[in-house]
Amino acid sequence: MRRVIFVGGTDTGVGKTVVATGIVRALRDRGETVLPVKPVETGCDDLDRPDDALALHRAAGGGDLGAICPVRYRTPAAPWSAARREGVKHTFDGLRAHIDALDAPWVVVEGAGGLLVPLDATHSFADLARAVGATLVLVSRNALGTINHTRLSLEAARARGLPVAAVVANGSPGPGGVSHVDELRDLGLGVPVLGPLPVWSEVHLGTVAEAVEAMGLVDVLAAG
C-alpha cells in the first residue's frame, strides 16, 4: 500500500523541513523505502541548491534532486506570487501528476509556508495534499498564538476532506519557560498533539529522526 504524508504548517518557518526530514530518516531507519518531495521551493538564492530540498535529499540518502524539487523560484514569496513575478508558470495538475508518479511505499511531501498558501489563483497546498490522497502532519509553533493558528489550519484541512494524522508542536518553550503543547492537547483537537521538538543550533539527521521516533509520530503514521 502506498502512503502519502503531507507535512504542512500553520505558518512559514515553523519547522516543516525539520519534521519532514525526521520522518524520512526515521522511516529509512525502520527499513522502509521512502521518497521525499518538495514540489515547489521559493526563496532559492541558488536555483541549483534549494535548501529545503537538499535537506530532504540528505535524509533520503541521495536520489534525483530534480524529482525531489521540480519547481524552484528565487522570489521569497508564495509559489503563485513567485511564478507571476518571474514569468514562469507551474500548474496544479503538473504538481499533482509529479507526486502521483513517485513510486514508493512511502512518499513524504513538504509544503511551503502555511497550509493555505496559494499554488495558483484557485488552489492551495491543502488542495494539493487532498488531490494526491495525502494524510496531513500539521506543524505548529510552540509559542503564543499557536492555538488560533492551529485551530484555523485544522478547520481548513477538515473543510477540504484532508485527513489529519497529528499536530507536531515545534520549538522550545518561550519566555518564562511557558510551553503551549499541553494547552493544545487540552483543547481536544481530535488528533494526537506531539512534541515539542527542540530547537537545535545545528540539525543532525540522526538526532532529528530519534526525536521524531521518541514522540511516537512514526508509530501514528504507520498505524494510519
Point out the residues that are catalytic.
Answer: 38
Other CB atoms within 10 Å distance of the CB of residue 120:
17
Q: Are 191 and 185 in contact (CB under 8 A)?
A: no
Question: What CA–CA distance (Å, rounded) separates 110 from 224?
Answer: 19
Q: Are 168 and 194 in contact (CB under 8 A)?
A: yes
Strand partners, 9: 114, 139
Cell of residue 47, nine digits: 536555483
Cell of residue 198, nine digits: 527542540
> What's the CA angle centered on 135, arms 99 and 13, to 5 degrees?
80
Q: Is the backbone of residue 138 left (phi > 0), alpha (psi -120 to 50) or beta?
A: beta
What is the enclosing helix (H) or strand (E) of 108?
Answer: strand 106-114
What is the enclosing helix (H) or strand (E) of 177?
Answer: none
